[in-house]
Amino acid sequence: MTGRCFGDGTPLYEEYHDTEWGLEVRGDRELYERFSLEAFQSGLAWITILRKRPAFRAAFADFEPAVVAEYGDHDVARLLADAGIVRNRAKILATVANARAVLDLHAQGRTLTDLVWAHAPADRVRRPRATTFAEVPAQTEESRALARELRSVGFRFVGPTTAYAAMQACGLVDDHLAGCPVVGADQG
């Protein structure tokens, strides 16, 4: 491998790969944002979501669960008219429902951070390292369990593949390919 796992040649994608993807993300707002964006990405290229991320953050109050949980029909209509984001009713409604689920967790004395990180595999970096993404699983037993638990607490639009993509993005697993120049990508 001569370059990054992905993103070479696209500055926004390179920046995301080098400074975000695979690094640990903790905090309920931060994880809520990542899971929301992963849901919006479903069926689309991730670069599309990266390009629209500033608009998503503006449209969804910087992914503050307490604010988004209060969104009603007027807000949904506003979001469906917002060309800056992905205008998919099911994904918008899921993002609102997921904010409410985060608040429900808090009401139970739980956090999204604890729920998500309880599903991190013991071995964050798998060996031998994959040399292509064709060798990287789309889902794992941990992502299936995480998706099940998220759905059980009220999350929508999160299946095992979306859960695994979030696990990769949020550093629960390190799927940087062998030879990737990202510092620490080959450690583990």
**Per-residue pLDDT tens digits for 29-52:** 999 999 999 999 999 999 999 999
**CA 39 to CA 162: how far, in whole Å?**
7
Domains of the chain: residue spans and CATH:
19-169 (1.10.340.30)
Tell me the average pLDDT of the chain.
93
The model's pLDDT over 66-113, given as tens digits with 9 standing for 90+, comes to 999 999 999 999 999 999 999 999 999 999 999 999 999 999 999 999
Predicted pLDDT of residue 178? 86
**CA 139 to CA 164: how far, in whole Å?**
5
Q: Is it the case that residue 187 has pLDDT exceeding 70?
A: no
Catalytic residues: 16, 38, 46
Q: Is it the case that residue 185 has pLDDT exceeding 80?
A: no
Q: Is it the case that residue 146 has pLDDT exceeding 90?
A: yes
**CA 122 to CA 8: how far, in whole Å?**
30
Predicted pLDDT of residue 181? 86
Token representation of residue 126: 């798998």
